[in-house]
Structure formats: C-alpha cells, structure tokens
Structure 1
Amino acid sequence: MEKQREIYAEWLRIFAALVVVFQHTVTSAWYDTPVDTPDFFVLNFMNSLSRFGVGVFIMISGAFMLSPKYPHTPQKVLKHNLVRILALIVFWVMFYGIVDALCVGFKTGAGIGETILNVVSAPVLLFTTPATHLWFLYAIAGLYLITPALRVFTEHASKHMVLYVIAIFFAFGLVFPTVSHLLGKWFDFTLYKNIGIRGCTTFAGFYLTGFYIAHHGIGQRARRIVYAGAILSWVIAFFYSTYISLLRDAPNEFFFGNFRPTTFLMAVGVFCFFHEKFKDRTSTQSRLIDISKCMLGVYIIHPLFIRMFYGFKLSMLIPHPLVTVPLMTLLFFGISLGLVYLFRRVPGIRKYL
C-alpha cells in the first residue's frame, strides 16, 4: 500500500515555498528603492506579507520530526536526515560559489588564473560566506542535531509542558529582544542582556510549535486569538517598517525578522489555518506529493532566476511592482518547480534536490 500523507502539510509546504520566492522577489528591489516613493510603499506592503515562509517551513519539520507517530530514531535522524542535509550544504555552497566566481570574473575582466583560484577556493565558503539564502540549510542541520534529544522530551512531556517551553521561547526569545531593541532606539535605555535566556533565541521554538499544533491541536477560541494576533502582527510590522524607513531614509526590516513576535505569530496563524482546513485528511495522490517534495529544491535554486532577471537589465518597478512582482514570482516559482521536478527523476541528481 502507498504511504498516506497528511494533506495539510503538502499544501502548506507548497504555499510556504511560494511565499519565500515572493519574498526574495520583492526584496530584490525593496532594498534599493528610494523610501519616499510610491514604489517603495507598494514593495513594503508586499514585503510585510511574505516574511513568515521560513518559519512555516521549520514548523512543518517539527510537526513530523518530533511526533511520536513517526519513527525517527536517533540513528535515522543522524545517519539519514542529517547526512542528506549536509550533502545539500556542501553541494550547493560550492555550486553557488563557483557560479559567483565565474560571474565576477566575467564582469570584472579578471584573469584566468584569478578566476580559477576563486573557483578552487569555493569549499572555503562552507565556513565563511555561503550564498545568502543557504543559511536555511545550516539551520535545519542544527535542528536535526538536537532532534533526538527533543524527541525524548516530546514523547514524554504533557501538552502543558510543551506549551510552557513554547511560552518561554516566545517571552525570552522573541518579546524580550524586541522590547530591549525598541527601548534602546526610542528611549536610550537598554534592558540588562542577561535577563534574556540566550538559548531561547533559536528555531527550536518554531520546531516545537509545529509539533504542538499538529500533535495536540488548539481549540476554536485559541485559533481566533491566533488569527487576530497574526493580523495585528502584520499591521504592526507594515506600519512600523514604513514609518521608520521614512524617518531614517533607509529601508527598515526590524519587525520582518524571523525572531520577532510579529513574524512568529503570522507563521503560527498560517500553520493553524492550513492544519484546521485539512485536518485529519490524508492522501496518496502522487502528483500533489511529488510537487510537495520539490519545494526544498525550489527554495535552493530560485535565486538563480532572480539573478538572471537582473542580468537582462530588467526592473521589478516596470511597468509597476504590483504587477511585475507577482508575475515574476509565479515565473520564478514555475521554472524552478519544473526543473526540480525533472531533475528529481534522475537518480544521481535527485538527492541534491
């Protein structure tokens, strides 16, 4: 019999990947657009809607990697999951390093010797400056490392104990650094740094939250509070970013960060929505599952097509960002999905996508 897959996770994974592509498409123009223009206002609006994608990805991983329903033994996690993600890191860091070396050599007219040296030194980037978006793979590798220990906790902890740990993460990992930063910026007063519990500032909080919602669920009243919090978080993030960007004449993304209560609440709201909509529904539908399995590959390769877009001297502002950005997002996502879908059928390549 074919393995049953939970529908909510398949659709949520696809949606989160699309949102991440949308975010990177927006920010490719957002950082360089003058803040006192209508274009920036539109880009900032779209940017504020797109920052929860990575958090959702991590919550999906936590929902399955930490659940007692799924047999992820320490041996399986460390010898299969971790090894696979490390292989992805090595391959793609070197791939992007070589591409960058060749592009820089072509643009600057560097000699063959210098270009070859840059290509050969690509492995050093694993420990220095990998391609920006590949940070996510390092975060997942770290979560896999602590997964065996976290599974001991989730297999024995009560519902309230898991919620207790999430509350600590929310208070000290998200709210405390946010409040401290704002007090320092507006009142020249900074909270004593050791009040914060340093270990709480970690994606393990998202990881555990995904497990909690998927395994224990939340009631209707709690969901309404989560949805209200998600909407309010978006409003705060958008208006604060717009105001501070205009005030300082530079794009400000403080409330767009992954470790902000606004981003966390938006991710939780989206996760809850999909989980509730498709709750207890499973499927063996091969097309949906095959597409869902491509999403990590889509995340990894889509920046190549954003680079190509600018390589042709095109602009996200023409004819208008409200039109160009969504259309290019769909194009980047579609091309990436098509390529990954085809490459995953090649035995020697699929393990890297």
Structure 2
Amino acid sequence: MEFLNFDVGKNRIYWVDWLKTIAILAVLLLHCSSKYLLPELVFQPNWYCGVFFESISRFGVPLFIMVSGFLILRKNQPISSVPKRLKRVFIPFIFWLIIYVIAKFVMINHSFDLIQLGYFMVQAILDPTIASIEFWFVYMILGLYVFSPIITTWLHNTEIYEIEYFLIVWALISFVGFSNVDFLLYDYLKYFTGSIGYFILGYYLYVKQKSILKNKHFGLLLFVIGTLVSFLGTILSSMAIGEQSLLFFNLGDITPNACLQAMGIFIIVSNTDWRKYSKSINNAVVYFSIASYGVYLANVLFINILDKIISFNILGNATLTIIVEWIIVFLLCNIFIRLMSKIPVLDKFSGI
C-alpha cells in the first residue's frame, strides 16, 4: 500500500499525527452512528447502539481544536501569517461547500434552477450548516485563527497560573451554558465560553510540566468518565422526560463529557513515545493525518451516498452497520482525497 512507503520526514511530531488520525476516526464514527438517534427509535435496541457509539466518539472535534491550539499557539504568530492559514482552510471548504450545495439542492428540488441555486449558495455561505451540519467547524476554526496572534502574544507573556485561571473560568461558565440555567451573569461572561477554551487547553496540557496531567492512567480515567457521562447521561435524561434527550450530544461539544474525553485522549497520546512502535504503523498514521481535513469535509457526502442511494444496512444490525460503514467511509474518503491531491487544479481543494 502507498502509505507503507510514505516519507514522513524527520521532524514529524508523531503524537500530533496520532491525535489527528484518532480525531477523524471519532468524527466519522459519530456521523455514521447519528442516524440511529431518532425520536421514533428511542429505547429500542438500535437506539441504545447509536447512543453507545455516539458516546465513545464525542471527543473528535474538541480534539482537533486542541491539536490546532498546540500547533499554532506554541509559536509566535505574526498577523501576517493569518491570511495564509485562512486560505489553507477556506479554499478547500468553498469547493466542498459548492459540491454539498448542488447535491442538496438537486435532491430537494429535483431540478437545476440557476437563480434558486445561486440564492441557496449565498445562504450557505452565510450559514454553511444548511448545506451540511458539520461545516460549523470551519467557521469556528477560522475565527480562532483570526485571533491566534493576540492569543499567542498573551500566552507567551503570562504565567501558567493565569492560563489556569482562564481555563477554570471557561469550564465553569461553559458548564452553566451546558446546564441551561437561566443565569443573567452568563450573558455577560460568554467571552469565556466556546471553542477558544479547547484551543488554549491543547497548548496548556503540553506546556504544563510535572503534573498528573502527564499521567496516562489519569488520561484513561478521564476518558472513561467522560464516556460514561455521555452514555448514562443520555439514557437517564431521556428516561426522565420520556423521550429522546440529546443534552450530552450538543453541537460543538462544549460539554463536560466531551471535554473529559478529549483531555484524556490528549494526555494519553501526547505522553506516549510513538517512535518505539512500528515504522509502517507510524507511516500509515501520518498518511491519514495529513488527509484528515479533506476527509472531514468529504465524509458526510460519502455517508449520505451509502445511506440514501445504496440503502446501507447490514441485516438490520445497527452495530455491524455502523462499524462496516465507518471503515468503508474512512477508506473511501482517504482514497478520494489522495486522488484529488494528485490531480492538477483539484489538488488545492484536497485539504492536503
């Protein structure tokens, strides 16, 4: 296979590539299992299966943000570096946004009216989630990139306890938002909420020295707790109201369960010496890591094709269907993105 001979270079940070590969696998698993989270399936075996797979994969996007935080915030970020970074994210996104808009427009309207299509395109640029829900991530990360020079300047000129102060306040205020408590003060402390906390957390977990935050067993404990909170919290909250509750599966995952999971995975992976492992395995991980952004942009389209055109369903078994579809989508997306990267003109849209 191609990745067995892939030149990873001498300066790769292997644990970063492992985190990105694990994160994209989690995102794909999340998307493949979401079709079973339907109100009409609540408390049925397939629903419990969907809840389980959703629960173990909530950390995907938070982990991507934390990795970005480490990679970007550890270095000085002049304002002049922002346009290049935005361009690298935005150009592939626009290509895939157009593909999704056309596909969704044709499927809904069964026609190709250019004026209506153009109007739908404008709406999608203003709010890309109407084309595909996972595109919220792109605008979020673009916003963080815009502010990265300011954040970096602060982080490099502050004490560690001040970073901890920010993260503690972020966690507390985010929990208030998560719990939906009607608390007026929350409205005036929203600048402490959102994905910026994950961005800074990725930097903090790496620079924090001689701490339990370097202990892989502690990381595993955090992941297990976060997963149990997701799984049991969803089931119990649904039982309490007599219908499906997705409180612990909020879009954007600014939730305590996803945060614990992401922290746990980050701690485990970043404190593992991956160079001791097989070169072929590391090569494969780097290969998949490099294509992870393109795979993120493309995966829902492939999942929809399998679900709607092929009616992907294996013997009515939710567990088997989710796992097989997850593997197929992962491989197809990586093959497709790699092919794009080798074709002139299309290569700049591959996200590689």
**Normalising by the residue count of structure 1, what TM-score does the alignment of the two structures yield?**
0.86
- Do residues 292 (structure 1) and 289 (structure 2) align? yes
Among 80, 104, 111, the residue aligned to 2:108: 104
Unpaired segments ≥5 residues, structure 1 = 185-189
Identical columns (%): 19
SS in 2 for 1:236: helix
1:36 counterpart SS class? coil
How far apart in 1 are the matches of 2:285 and 2:66? 20
What SS class does the counterpart of residue 41 from structure 2 fall into?
coil
> Is the counterpart of residue 84 in structure 1 residue 88 in structure 2?
yes
Partner residue in 1 for 2:169: 168
Between the aligned partners of 1:240 and 1:345, the Cα distance in structure 2 is 45
Deviations along 1:170-218, one digit per CA (max 9) or x if unpaired, are 111x222234x2xx5xxxxx43344761101121100001011223345
Partner residue, 2:191? 199
Most deviating of 127-136 and 53-62: 127-136
> Do 1:7 and 1:281's aligned partners in 2 also have CA atoms closer than 8 Å?
no
Deviation per residue, 1:224-272 (Å, 9 max, x gap): 5454333222212211211222343433221223111111111110111
Instruction: Determine if contact 1:93/1:123 at 8 Å carries over to the other structure.
Output: no
Instruction: Give the C-alpha shift of residue 31 in structure 1.
Output: 2.5
Tell me the residue number matched to 2:333.
336
Match of 2:222 among 220, 229, 241: 229
Contact 1:35 1:246 in 2 (8 A): no
Tell me how far apart the structure 1 counterparts of residues 136 and 332 of structure 2 sit (CA, whole Å): 23
- SS state at 1:296 partner: helix
2:44 equivalent among 37, 42, 67: 37
Distance 1:192 1:142 in 2: 26
CA RMSD of aligned residues (A): 2.6
CA contact (8 A) 2:248 2:255 kept: yes
Deviation at 1:81, TM superposition (A): 0.2
1:143 alignment counterpart: 144
SS in 2 for 1:277: coil
How far apart are the structure 2 equivalents of 1:194 and 1:267? 24
Q: Does the aligned pair in 1 maintain the 2:177–2:186 contact within 8 Å?
A: no
Provide the rounded CA distance (Å) in 2 between the counterparts of 1:148 and 1:350: 29
Distance verdict in 2 for CA 1:32–1:329, change over 3 Å: farther
Question: Deviating runs (4+, > 4 A) in structure 1?
Answer: 279-288
> What is the count of residue pairs matched by the alignment?
335
Q: Within the alignment, does 1:152 sit opposite 2:153 as a pair?
A: yes
Matching residue's letter, 1:212: Y
CA distance in 2, matches of 1:92, 1:312: 20
Shift in alpha-carbon separation, 1:215–1:196, aligned structure 2, 3 A:
same
Shift of 1:154: 1.6
Counterpart among 299, 302, 305 of residue 302 in structure 1: 299
For the structure 1 residues 2 and 244, does the alpha-carbon distance in structure 2 shift closer, same or farther, using more than 3 Å as the test? closer
CA distance, structure 1, for counterparts of residue 69 and residue 38 of structure 2: 32
Out of 151-160 and 287-296, give the one that drifted further.
287-296
| Distance (Å, rounded) in 1 between the aligned partners of 2:69 and 2:135 | 19
Alpha-carbon distance in 1 for matches of 2:297, 2:338? 13
The letter of the residue matching 2:244 is P
- The answer to whether the 8 Å contact 1:21/1:333 transfers is yes
Cα shift at 1:29: 2.5
SS at match of 1:57: helix
1-structure distance, mates of 2:303, 2:198: 28
Paired with 1:241 and 1:193, the residues of 2 have a C-alpha distance of: 28
- Name the structure 2 match of 1:187: none
Counterpart of 1:126 in structure 2 is 125
| Corresponding position: 1:212 with 2:204 | yes
3-state SS of paired residue (1:64)? helix
Give, in whole Å, the separation in 2 of the partners of 1:32 and 1:341: 38
Distance 1:225 1:287 in 2: 28
Task: Confirm or deny: 8 A CA contact 1:25 1:328 kept in the other structure.
Answer: yes
**1:119 is aligned with what amino acid?**
L
Aligned counterparts of 1:245 and 1:10: Cα–Cα separation in 2: 37
- Residues 1:74 and 2:69 aligned together: no
SS in 1 for 2:124: helix
Aligned-pair CA distance for 1:91: 2.5
Q: The residue matched to 2:204 in structure 1 has which SS?
A: helix
TM-score by length of 2: 0.86
Match of 1:24 in 2: 31
1:262 aligns with 2:266: no
14-23 or 235-244, which deviates more:
235-244
Residue aligning to 1:59? 66
Q: Deviations over 1:92-121 (max 9, x none)?
A: 222211111122233xxx5x5xx3333233
**Structure 2 SS opposite 1:156:** coil
In the alignment, the residues of structure 1 paired with residue 275 and residue 152 of structure 2 have an alpha-carbon distance, to the nearest angstrom, of 22
Instruction: Identify which range, 280-289 or 293-302, moves more after superposition.
Output: 280-289
Displacement of 1:65: 0.4
